[in-house]
Homo-oligomer: A and B are copies of this chain.
């Protein structure tokens, strides 16, 4: 940013933005994704200080309508911590909480809003975050909506606790645990877990679904197309985090498991539309395929090595790792890899995974290019689409 502070220090304003410009090329298998370029992100943001309050308003112009709002909040100090009110990320997965400018591979892992928390990366509500010695704690209460969703009375809560038993200039060990509860209600969308297992704009696989508000049900038993059942689904997810750095090396793993309540009846046609393949279990000729409660497990392990020697710093106030930064005019090279998987244990073979290899070159602390090869694998449909992707990223 462009930052200005008033003479008395009571007031400041800072303008920033980011451009992530991607190219996707697929090695197609059963599915037929389209090779293309895409603005993954094209954001402007304004933030600053109003006496004892902070504000931030961020819009992603690569998204349509009110769904393009990102961080939009007012915040202030409260009981040794920071109270934030508005639209922002609840304290859950460490990967989710890492800025998209600082992730080491182009897309987030399946323990985040790119999987088990699909479409729920940011929510409208209230959060409080504090830190002491080598710990951080975040607590959230939220309405189950982001600004692009319909208005609804669903709600949720989340908490995350982290511990960094080792944290010095050369090495960090981080442990974290988070817990999330979400409850759909009047006018809520369904709560789902879904993944693009072969990279952005590649094929999707629905992993789990918990019903939303009653207005999203349709059809009648015996029709070709129906989707009926209970409303007001509940989702409970627990996540564990383990991460460490040592000099230029970085490793991070997460394991998240949760229960999605069900009680849904789908016609076979709708089942196939949603899951991409016909049911591999018995569906009643009248009441269709029954989706009961679902246990979902997701995990990943990833690592990176800064070939040019930079160390990934740890932010002890938030319990998140930051990106390496080169010192201009020198650049920096980084290689990274991740194995990433998610499965629904209540459906046979409803599992998607991928292996991603990445090379990043940092021109300077604000501009980098990323290259990723993603080997996708969907056990449910049998599709094995792969992707080569390149991103040019600038942030200011």
Interface residue ranges, A against B (CB under 8 Å): 1-4, 10-11, 13, 15, 17, 19, 21, 23, 32, 34-39, 42, 44, 46, 48, 50-53, 55, 57, 59, 61-66, 68-69, 72-74, 76, 85-87, 124-125, 143, 145, 147, 151-153, 186-187, 201, 328-329, 363-364, 366-367, 392, 394, 396
Q: Is the CB of A63 within 8 A of B66?
A: yes
Q: Which residues of B contact A147 (CB under 8 A)?
A: 39, 42, 62
Please judge, given known A-B contacts A36-B151, A69-B39, A363-B53, whether A2 and B15 are in contact too, CB under 8 Å.
Answer: yes
- Ranked nearest first, the 10 interchain pairs of A and B with the lowest CB-CB distance are A2-B13, A36-B151, A51-B364, A35-B153, A37-B143, A64-B65, A50-B366, A37-B124, A74-B394, A34-B187
Q: Which residues of B contact A36 (CB under 8 A)?
A: 143, 145, 151-153, 187
Q: How far is the CA of A95 from the CA of B57 in the complex (A)?
A: 27
Main secondary structure of the interface of A (DSSP, over half): strand
Q: Which residues of B contact A187 (CB under 8 A)?
A: 34, 36
Q: Is the CB of B21 within 8 A of A74?
A: yes
Residue from B1, B34, B39, B74 in contact with A19 in the complex, judged by beta carbons closer than 8 Å:
B74
Q: How far is the CA of A377 from the CA of B62 in the complex (A)?
A: 39
Residue from B13, B66, B72, B363 in contact with A1 in the complex, judged by beta carbons closer than 8 Å:
B13
Q: Is the CB of B50 within 8 A of A394?
A: yes
Q: Is the CB of B57 within 8 A of A61?
A: yes
Q: How far is the CA of A367 from the CA of B147 in the complex (A)?
A: 22
- Report copies per complex: 3
Please judge, given known A-B contacts A2-B2, A50-B367, whether A17 and B55 are in contact too, CB under 8 Å.
Answer: yes
Residue from B34, B48, B145 in contact with A152 in the complex, judged by beta carbons closer than 8 Å:
B34
Q: Which residues of B contact A394 (CB under 8 A)?
A: 50, 53, 55, 74
CB distance from A331 to the nearest CB of B (A): 10
Q: Is the CB of B51 within 8 A of A363?
A: yes
CB distance from A27 to the nearest CB of B (A): 14
Q: How far is the CA of A143 from the CA of B36 in the complex (A)?
A: 7
Q: Which residues of B contact A76 (CB under 8 A)?
A: 363
Q: Is the CB of A44 within 8 A of B42?
A: no
CB distance from A371 to the nearest CB of B (A): 14
Q: Which B residue sits closest to A12, measured CB to CB? A: B2
Q: How far is the CA of A59 from the CA of B68 in the complex (A)?
A: 13
Q: Is the CB of B13 within 8 A of A53?
A: no
Q: In the complex, given contacts A51-B364, A53-B394, what are 10 additional A-B residue pairs having Cβ atoms less than 8 angstroms apart?
A: A2-B4, A4-B4, A13-B396, A21-B74, A36-B152, A39-B87, A50-B364, A51-B328, A51-B367, A62-B147
Q: How far is the CA of A42 from the CA of B44 in the complex (A)?
A: 13
Q: Is the CB of B364 within 8 A of A48?
A: no
Q: Which B residue sits closest to A38, measured CB to CB? A: B151
CB distance from A327 to the nearest CB of B (A): 11
Q: How far is the CA of A65 from the CA of B67 in the complex (A)?
A: 10
Q: Which B residue sits closest to A151, measured CB to CB? A: B36
Q: Is the CB of B145 within 8 A of A37?
A: yes
CB distance from A142 to the nearest CB of B (A): 8
Q: Which residues of B contact A61 (CB under 8 A)?
A: 57, 59, 66, 68-69, 72
Q: Is the CB of B66 within 8 A of A62?
A: yes
**Chain B CB within 10 Å, residue with most, of A50, A55, A86, A394:** A394
Q: How far is the CA of A260 from the CA of B198 in the complex (A)?
A: 36
Q: Which residues of B contact A73 (CB under 8 A)?
A: 19, 21
Q: Which residues of B contact A50 (CB under 8 A)?
A: 364, 366-367, 394, 396
